[in-house]
Amino acid sequence: MAPGRPAPGRSRHWLERRCARRLWRSGAWRSAACSIGQLCDIPFNTLYTLFARWTRLGLWRRLLDRLRRAWRLTCGDTADPSTVVIDSRSCRSAPSCFTRGIDGGKKIRGVKIQVAVDKHGIPLAIDVAPANTHDTKGIVPVLRELAGQGFRGPALSDLGYRGERLAKIAEALGITVKPVARGRDGKFLPAGICWVVERSFAWLSRYRRLNTIFERTKEHLVAFIEIAFVSILSRRLKRLVTGELSA
């Protein structure tokens, strides 16, 4: 077997571990691949080619969906949610990033990540746009992806998603956007399950790779976000299985 090649039958788990490790690092792909290669003798071309191929095939999306459904069933819920929460987060990006914009309110030059999560904070749909994209426009691809998955129901949001245009688009997709006030006098106040999306963004902030964006394609950035939640759910399910075995 050639050096740096995954063992037969273990390529998926091999790449999952390497990409999860990649999330904890910031900087260019080659610099991280070199640091990983010093430990595991993994060539840059092997790491990046497999990651790009599996991203193109939608493997990370399918893996996240399977783990999300497994976690919901373990918690006693139905496999698919009846309500989602939508929100956005602005992240700084490097000049080499695939797109950039300036979020005037937060004074951030970079990209804006739009997500729709269930009550456990696990995303069903993700999209990325320049940071100067208004929330009512940036969330539309997320709503279309939700509708493509068969979701029909309410989408809870903050007051930044108010507007007749967005309401009509969502209604045509069978989704009802329900803006909910999440604060008073400049202070955040939890309202129903709306707070879970803020926790999801807090989880993402623990991954250095997702604090400053270097990716040159939107698909790769979305894949890294999916890998982050795959890592979170995998650890949860592993602890649950370990606890049952030791009980």
- Cα gap 200→177, rounded to integer Å: 20
Position 188, amino acid: F
Position 224, amino acid: F
Interval 145-187: pLDDT, tens: 999 999 999 999 998 999 999 999 999 999 999 998 876 666 6
- Is residue 94 included in any domain, yes or no? yes
Q: What is the dihedral of CA 119, 121, 123, 127, to 10 degrees?
A: 110
How is residue 10 written in tokens? 């273990």
What is the extent of the structural domain holding 209? 78-217
- Is residue 164 included in any domain, yes or no? yes
Q: How much is the pTM?
A: 0.83
How is residue 47 written in tokens? 């790491």
- Is residue 91 included in any domain, yes or no? yes
- Is residue 72 included in any domain, yes or no? no
**Number of folded domains in the chain?**
1
Position 32, amino acid: A
- Is residue 173 included in any domain, yes or no? yes
- Is residue 31 included in any domain, yes or no? no
- Is residue 71 included in any domain, yes or no? no
Beta carbons within 8 Å of 77's beta carbon, 6+ residues apart: 119
Residue 210 sits in a domain of what CATH number? 3.30.420.10
Q: Residues in the chain with pLDDT < 70?
A: 1-42, 183-190, 243-247
Q: Spell out the alpha helix ranges (H) of 75-174.
A: 135-138, 140-148, 164-172
- Is residue 44 included in any domain, yes or no? no
